[in-house]
Amino acid sequence: MKRIFAGNLPPDTNEKELTELFSAFGRVRSLTLPRDVFSGKARGFGFIEMEGHHARAAIAGLNGKDFRGRPLKVNEERPKDDKGRGRRR
């Protein structure tokens, strides 16, 4: 199981359309779309869990792809370092 980061999402993105987008590459096991506490709008990123080979195919197929006028940023989730930032590889 791999956890994928999807970034540069429009604020009105919903779970259904994100699931449909990633389902083209395999079964989406889970999806988290963080929302702003006050506005309820998506915060511009989400996390998707898929089987390893499906996740790799989704990353290859969706990274840089136009999604409602924005280029998606899709990659494998990077664990945070001790300062709360995503680690670079």
What domains can you pick out in the chain, each with its CATH number? 2-76 (3.30.70.330)
State which amino acid sits at residue 58: A
Provide the pLDDT for residue 60.
97
Q: Which is nearest to 22 in space by CA: 12, 34, 33, 11?
A: 33
| Tens-digit pLDDT profile for residues 41-85 | 999 999 999 999 999 999 999 999 999 999 999 999 877 666 666
Provide the pLDDT for residue 88.
52
Q: Could you tell me which residues come within 8 angstroms of residue 43 by beta carbon, excluding any fewer than 6 positions away? A: 11, 34, 35, 36
Provide the pLDDT for residue 79.
72
Provide the pLDDT for residue 83.
64
Provide the pLDDT for residue 78.
79
